[in-house]
Structure 1
Amino acid sequence: MLLGALAALALAALTLPRGVAMLQEQTDRQLRIVSGSQASAVLVAADAYAKAHFPTLAVGSEVAIPLADLVDEGLLRAGLSGQTALGQSIAVTAGADASGPAGGAVTIVVALTGGPPLGLTDRVKLAAAIGEAGGYLRQTDAASGGGGSEVYGAFHGWCSDGCDPADLPGDLSTTQVLAVERLPRQSVLEPYLYRVAVPGFPEANRMSTDLDLDGFDLTGAGRLDAGDVAVSGSLSVAGDASIGGALSVTGTLSAGELQASGPVTVDDLAVEGTATLAGPVAVSGLISADSLSTSGDLQAAGLTVEGSASAAALSVAGPVAASSLSASSAEVTDLVAGSATASSLEVSGTATAVQLDSGDASIAGNASLGGNLAVGGGAAVTGTLQAGAVGADSLVVGSCTGC
């Protein structure tokens, strides 16, 4: 029995150190997993912080980001001690990426400093516990002219040949393990539209796809510049509207001033200032403007212009009132104008003007002219014609006063 007891003690003496070592390794492994998870959580929070403050970070000096700021912005869980399970302090620094153009990227570094010294193997293991962004510092060989340190990514996933710590934000002189994230400008700014101007970053206020308002209003516009505008309801612009392409409004269009280089199609058109239109204009309702000019054809149910109105061809089913009217051809119901000039003029109602110049003139009602009637071709007035002087190749009139 004594021999058996001695044998058991001898066996225990041989296996106990091995068991203690295994237990210690398991504990160390668990501490590395927790520490890596803590560093990863801080990196995620710092990434969100850097995206929110990217325009400032991308062009300014590197800054330390206190963990309290990440907590205050709701990016990090409150109560974090600021130390890993291995006893290392967590420090966050962000700064502009010096390897590219100014404002091109921001680099974030989560550095684990202090705590118990870690050998190279333990640093590699802890960097791997952080994940793809993890990295570690390794001392260079002093015999080969080194004597400093180099940064390597976990499993050499980045900085596989070693990087200079001076190229990263923050003081890494006492850092053993770190996590690094690089945020390129396009990955941060392109997915978002900023409500305020961002100096140096014009794309922050620029759409890169269609904007669907889902039936909601777009209000408060000062000046509207567009290639094409299609509105199923009414369009009201308090300032100026400049359209590079076509303008189509199912309802009413009202604006301070209107410029369009393409076709304009609306139910009603109201412009407080000047309307300058390069293409054809089709208005199923009324047109009102201070002055109206189009190099294309103009069609409307009615036209009221306080100033001058000019069009290639004018077709108005209702009354026309303008200080002066100029068109290659004009077909209107009633005409009231200071002066009217057209290659051919057809008025199905009454024409009242100071002066009328036309190639051919056909007026179904009365014509009252304070000045002269000059017609290069034939003039036909079904009703009464009043004019200072009449010049025409041929004149057919019901009755004439002052002819």
Structure 2
Amino acid sequence: MDAIIGFIAALTLSLLSMAGFAKYADMGVRNIQTSAIASQGRVIDQAAAQYVQDNAAALAASVPVGGAATTISVNTLQTAGYLPGGFSANTAFGQTWQVQVSQPTAGRLQTIVMTTGGNPITNTAQLAGIAAQIGAEGGFVPYANQGGNSAMSPSNANGAFGAWQVNLGASGFTNAGSGHVANLLAFTSQQSNANYLYRVSVPGHPELNAMQTDLSMQDVGGTAHNIAGANNVTAGGTVTGGKLVSNGDVNAAGNATINGTLSAAAGRVTAWNNAAEGGVITMQGANGVNMYVENLNGTLRLVNSPWNAQLLTVDQSGNTVANGGVSSTNAPGYGQTTLNQWGLASTGDIYVEPANGHNLNLSTTAWNGTGQLNSQFAQNWFQHRVVANEYLQVNGGASPNTSCSPNGIAAVNADGSGQWLNCVFGTWKPIGGNLLRYGKYTATHGTYIPAPSCPAGGTAMIVVTPANFSVDTTTTVNYGAWGSGPWTVYIVDGASSPLWGATAAVGTYCGY
């Protein structure tokens, strides 16, 4: 009878395990689908962005302004060499990738990479997960009130984590319907706005013949070239060269010695002497606001327009004091700001803020993993995830079953064993619970069982469970262990006679 009950229990546990395995197997397949579709999306996004950039002029001339978007197929990208010939145009759901390009205003192209047809992705978590794995441009066409969010509408394409939203119909795009992927390339700043200078006229697009940055007539070899055949040349600022030509005032209260070119673009430079302090150069901007550079008894200082605030000073030893923020851009190598000894001090908060999602990199000059970052702050706050590419070492020690605060903090056992503890409901507990198994044995009567080496605060314990034996069902079976660790297992009948054919499963534990 006991054997039948044991068989039924084992069968029940097996069925429960199979159900759990099926659940996790399904999750694994879904995760693989998500990664595969996201990888496809990133490749097509890159190809589409390059295609639109290279063909910006032709698209600007052919895509109707404010009208329906033009569709570009995967086959077109393959034929033009932007995608390999073997690249599949379909996703794991049978949906087909395509590129749609609209022109909301003249000369500005907006591109969406979207899947169409096939089977809609009905698992909304997977749909959002695909968009998130694609990146900032990743998005999808949601279901109505998806996730309980009333702002989710099938008429829009939404970016991952709400990064962006586009009304597809109003923007001229063809809506593939809920459960499809939609990536907005304009979000990545890779989207071409037709910012090329053309030597021929493009009908309806005068901006393609307008310069939007400085023009240099010196080639990469250092050779300067001429501009010939010009009619009228109009410059809003100063034209500099072998001769200084100015359409405005050039004022110098003292002598001016110029060995090269002095140019003041739409502004003025005035030199004068402040008898009480030293020489001053006044630089006036095009907006009429002045800045003053002064030599104050050998210290260079920058003074604001009202002459009531010192902005920057540099003394003869190179010591620099800035009374505002200091920004460093386009630094050569890994940086251009050097701090000697203690280096940086402040009477207030100090902020280091890389712009636009860039990284803050701290290292020794060799970038070889030497040196240490030492913090003497009372607490170090990280608002988001902490990632360690090697090991996480915790030196704070605690003792099990003592009080702690707040819940969730971690420490190591103060006995030096390396056991990790975490604060649960105000008490230090081992990670894993109050009862941790350290050993597992199969024993017969008289088997010696060693005690586990418990870290401080733990008590060695043993559990003996009958495993396999056959006796007269009318007799008594006693099993257990003698001792307090180490132990000796006993399996005897009612007369205390050993049952030599019987075995027991033995587990040793540390209890807290």
TM-score (norm 2): 0.38
Q: Which one has the bigger strand percentage?
A: 1
Report the structure, 1 or 2, having the larger helix content. Answer: 1
